[in-house]
A and B are shown apart, each in its own frame.
Chain A
Amino acid sequence: QVQLVESGGDLVKPGGSLRLSCAVSGFSFSDSYMSWIRQAPGKGLEWVSYISNSGNTVFYADSVKGRFTTSRDNAKKLLYLQMNNLRAEDSAVYYCARDPTFHSHWGQGTLVTVSS
């Protein structure tokens, strides 16, 4: 069955960096666009980024543009989110999801906390 498993969440200081990973199985990763979506504690959902199946096209929300980088390794079936210059407002559960439009498959999420 389809599985997405995020990892890499941690407590990091403001200005710090973190890389999240999403390991997938059960579908053709190399044919799939992928997305990152986040949810701050007690808040709603916010789209972060999506990447084309080849990795050649990536889009970002304005709130993370210039600080976050989405990439992928199709051979390893891994999706990445490199987060630099982290701010308190980046604290959230980060989900990876299949497809750039609506999402029928989500991971369980990984928690990022930005605090001194």
Chain B
Amino acid sequence: DIQMTQSPSTLSASVGDRVTFTCRASQSIGASLAWYQQKPGRAPKLLIYLASTLEDGVPSRFSGSGSGTEFTLTISSLQPDDFATYYCQQYNTFSTFGQGTKLEIK
């Protein structure tokens, strides 16, 4: 099974900051990686797929990069609506989610 490890578990930041989340796969998954944002009591929202393709309607301050085993999600300038938990997901072999990174207000 492919394991996905996200770091950090929690990230504290302020509005306007640039933040980066990291996701590592236990084996190469090519570019078969997605990122989601989830707020309490809500279903996850797709942000990025194919490692770097922005989903329709997602603000351009979100960007993704990486391939193989190392991936990043960057928010260029944090907005108040961005404080949430972020998950990566590999879909190269079935599907596995990372454990999530909670983005908190500093």
Residues of A within 8 A of B49 (CB): 101-102, 104
Fill in one digit per residue for A44-57: 1 if any B CB lies within 8 Å of its CB, else 0: 11110010000000
Q: Are A44 and B43 in contact (CB under 8 A)?
A: no
Which A residues have a C-beta under 8 Å from some C-beta of B? 35, 37, 44-47, 50, 59, 61-62, 95, 100-104, 106-109
Nearest B-chain residue to A48, judged by Cβ? B95
Q: Are B55 and A106 in contact (CB under 8 A)?
A: no
Q: Is the interface of A mostly helix, strand, loop or mixed?
A: loop
How close is A75's CB to chain B, nearest CB, in angstroms? Answer: 26
Residues of A within 8 A of B55 (CB): 104
Q: Are B91 and A44 in contact (CB under 8 A)?
A: no
Residues of A within 8 A of B99 (CB): 44
Q: Are A107 and B43 in contact (CB under 8 A)?
A: yes
Q: Does B71 contact A (CB under 8 A)?
A: no
Residues of B within 8 A of A109 (CB): 43
A3 to B95, alpha carbons, bound, how many Å?
22
Nearest A-chain residue to B38, judged by Cβ? A45
Please tell me which one of the listed residues A44, A106, A107 contacts residue B87 in the complex, with CB atoms under 8 A apart.
A44
How close is B95's CB to chain A, nearest CB, in angstroms? Answer: 4
Nearest A-chain residue to B53, judged by Cβ? A102
Could you list 13 A-B pairs, sorted by A, with CB under 8 Å? Answer: A44-B98, A44-B100, A45-B36, A45-B89, A50-B94, A59-B94, A95-B43, A100-B91, A100-B95, A101-B91, A103-B46, A106-B43, A106-B44
Residues of A within 8 A of B96 (CB): 47
